[in-house]
Structure 1
Amino acid sequence: MTQDPEHDVTRDHLRLLARVARMYHEQGIRQPEIAAALNLSQPRVSRLLKEAVTRGLVRTVVTLPDGVHTELEEELQRRYGLRDAVVVDVEDFQEDVIPPLATAAAAYLDVTLIGGDVVGLTPWSRTLQATVSRLPQKNARAAERVIQLAGGLGRPEAQVHATRLIARLADLTNARPVFVPLPGVVATSAIREALLQDPDLAEVQAQWHDLTLTLTGIGGLDPAVHGGVPGPADQEELRGLGAVGDVCLHFFDATGKPVASALDRRVIGIDSATFRAVERRVGIAGGLRKLAAIKAAVEGGWVNVLITDLRVARRLCA
């Protein structure tokens, strides 16, 4: 019984594919040396290697190193429609997640700030303060402007610290700082309306429309986070309305929908429509106590780049 010549040719061809693939991938022999050893042209060796992949003889397996969670980051992007996600390893016993989050955020900014960005910043976030302290000095101009997103919160010395933070980030990125020379929350809506007529604030408000990147924390209802804001009466109202967290003093419920409260009419800062129109909105937050706020922030589209810790990321993808 004679063998099918086409079957023999196919089998021989597969044998050649396997031999070339093993020489290249297992033995580390370069393509010119394979060509010389098998008396083949180098272009044919290249074609054979590509065909070996196509036919499934070679399968690429990427083994992630410890502390790298690319699959989880991609799942966060897919599930919540994020532009990007960074997941940081935090030890099980580590209560304070700010240091590793800040280190990761500084690394992200160091890579992605390449010039031309107009950066908005909430200066009262401890995580952002730690991030800026870890950011290396850029030699070239990495941003055009660094703009304060809301007035200062808390005691006067805290507001001075906020101004220094804006100035520091501007200095590190060789950008021009733009400050909000007013408190972030005032006593009444009438005071707010009067202050909004300030020409210096009007100039800042106009520049908020130029923002290409915002850097914010994601807060809960803890007044210690925002220098005493929200106060007891505001907290009670916000809880009654179902608020679980905020971004830049814009509070939202568990689904990420904005919560309208009396506090809104006393805040001096970027409005929600202008904020949400910014192309890249980076939220830096972690810790399971903030899980509800973080989930609501990404579901509601308040941030579209999330930097968080491994425990929170796993819960978000559960």
Structure 2
Amino acid sequence: MYSTDGEDASDNRAGADSRFPPDLMYAAARLYYLEEANQAEVARRIGTSRATVSRLLSEARRQGIVRIEVVLPEMEQTDDLAAQVAAELGLQRVHLSQTSASGHTGRVLAPALSEALESVGLTAGDVLLVSSGRTVYEAAQFDLPRLPGVLVAPTVGGQDEPEAWYQTNEITRAVAVKIGGRPTFLYAPALPGPDLYASLLDDPSIRRVLELWVSAKCVMVGIGAPPLTRQSLPAFVPTDAASLRMAVADICSRFYDRHGKPVSFPGSDRLMATGLDMLERIPYGIAVAVGAEKVAGIIAGAQAGYFNRLVTDPETAALLLSAAEQQATG
């Protein structure tokens, strides 16, 4: 039994050092989580107070002595669920993460995204396009397959955007580093003024990126939630535009409705971004998206042919399957 000289001594030690002895945390955690003792019983057996036991358990979780994983109930085998979603949405393949991506999007989705990229068969000289967006940005922070010599280019301008996940050049750089590829950057705002737009089209470095859009073998895109429900949007998007009320999602800052039809807004004809029609012609389109708010956009984008592969988690896959079945029957 551990002697703590009563609650006051333990509390003073915790307050002064903010850390408990590892063996004390381990003992409390083992009794509570593995032997299913309640906190009062744990306190009695290690010779401390119930309040201190509560703090011991919290600190054990914080330091990783205790690791808690919340796993979705297995409705069916993951492969079967992926195959069903692919069939319902008309996709070539669906790649599912092992657990829900809620709260740890990049870490959870990166293995499935790596699998999707490897399946495409990119080789040196092939072009991989990368979009902006929080999900793509977070996934790019983790390990991706080595694809040496692959050219990586952004699908949209945005060097003047404050949020990191709208800085497409930086996402391009991160992806290129992870895969061992060669980055090419688009030094242009996403929505330039009329005069600047005309001059940008004549710039050799801009034209080089536009040519890569046409010759790309693969594109990796995020799918944005309905614009008027989002807390974060690129600075150039006019949130007061009435047309955006019809939009269920965007890909590469190109908005579309629930039928997959493009939704324009004032100035969208000047967007420095890959067009939806271009996306349809790229051989491999990998969409990366999770969450109930993305379901309508994923379904509409898949049916419109803006991508042919999907990386998501089992929870979103189940929602997609249910929504697609309801759509088919109603």
Give the CA deviation at 1:196: 2.0
What is the identity, as a one-letter code, of the residue corresponding to 1:76? V
1:212 matched to 2:217? The reply is yes
Give the CA deviation at 1:113: 4.9
Cα displacement string for residues 246-303 of structure 1 (whole angstroms, at most 9, x for unaligned residues): 1111111111122233242231122232222100000000111221111211121111
Distance 1:207 1:114 in 2: 15
1:118 aligned partner? 127
Moved more, 302-311 or 98-107: 98-107
Give the CA deviation at 1:82: 0.8
Q: Secondary structure at the match of 2:215?
A: coil
Give the CA deviation at 1:133: 1.7
What is the identity, as a one-letter code, of the residue corresponding to 1:216? V
Moved more, 277-286 or 144-153: 144-153
Residue 251 of structure 1 contacts residue 258 of structure 1 at CA under 8 Å; is this kept in 2? yes
Residue 189 of structure 1 contacts residue 265 of structure 1 at CA under 8 Å; is this kept in 2? no
1:131 aligned partner? 139
2:297 aligned partner? 293
Q: Secondary structure at the match of 2:263?
A: coil
1:251 matched to 2:255? The reply is yes
Distance 1:160 1:228 in 2: 9
Distance 1:244 1:158 in 2: 23
1:231 matched to 2:235? The reply is no
> Could you tell me which of 193, 199, 203 is aligned with 1:198?
203
1:148 matched to 2:148? The reply is no
Cα displacement string for residues 192-223 of structure 1 (whole angstroms, at most 9, x for unaligned residues): 23322222211211121110000010012156
Distance 2:118 2:78 in 1: 20
Residue 286 of structure 2 contacts residue 309 of structure 2 at CA under 8 Å; is this kept in 1? yes
Q: 1:219 to 1:206 in 2, by over 3 A?
A: same
- TM-score under structure 2 length normalisation: 0.66
1:265 aligned partner? 269
Q: Secondary structure at the match of 1:307?
A: strand
- Structure 1: 5+ residue runs without aligned partners? 1-64
2:64 aligned partner? none
Q: Secondary structure at the match of 1:119?
A: strand
What is the identity, as a one-letter code, of the residue corresponding to 2:81? L
1:278 matched to 2:282? The reply is yes
- TM-score under structure 1 length normalisation: 0.68
Distance 1:159 1:137 in 2: 21
What is the identity, as a one-letter code, of the residue corresponding to 1:286? V
Q: Secondary structure at the match of 1:219?
A: coil
Give the CA deviation at 1:310: 1.8
1:180 matched to 2:180? The reply is no
Cα displacement string for residues 108-162 of structure 1 (whole angstroms, at most 9, x for unaligned residues): 335645524310001x322212222212473xx5452001111116536749954
What is the identity, as a one-letter code, of the residue corresponding to 1:232? T
1:9 aligned partner? none
2:114 aligned partner? 106
> Paired residues, what number?
246
Larger Rg: 1
1:75 matched to 2:84? The reply is yes
1:87 matched to 2:96? The reply is yes
Cα displacement string for residues 83-110 of structure 1 (whole angstroms, at most 9, x for unaligned residues): 1101234459x45645422342134335
2:46 aligned partner? none
Q: 1:199 to 1:87 in 2, by over 3 A?
A: same
Cα displacement string for residues 12-46 of structure 1 (whole angstroms, at most 9, x for unaligned residues): xxxxxxxxxxxxxxxxxxxxxxxxxxxxxxxxxxx
Q: Please, what is the CA RMSD of the aligned residues?
A: 2.9
Percent of aligned positions with the same letter in both sequences? 23
Q: 1:251 to 1:91 in 2, by over 3 A?
A: closer
Give the CA deviation at 1:183: 0.9
Cα displacement string for residues 54-84 of structure 1 (whole angstroms, at most 9, x for unaligned residues): xxxxxxxxxxx99951112111222222111
What is the identity, as a one-letter code, of the residue corresponding to 2:127? V
What is the identity, as a one-letter code, of the residue corresponding to 2:214? H
Distance 1:249 1:217 in 2: 10
What is the identity, as a one-letter code, of the residue corresponding to 1:256? G
Distance 1:108 1:271 in 2: 23
Q: 1:310 to 1:170 in 2, by over 3 A?
A: same
What is the identity, as a one-letter code, of the residue corresponding to 1:301? G
What is the identity, as a one-letter code, of the residue corresponding to 2:311? I
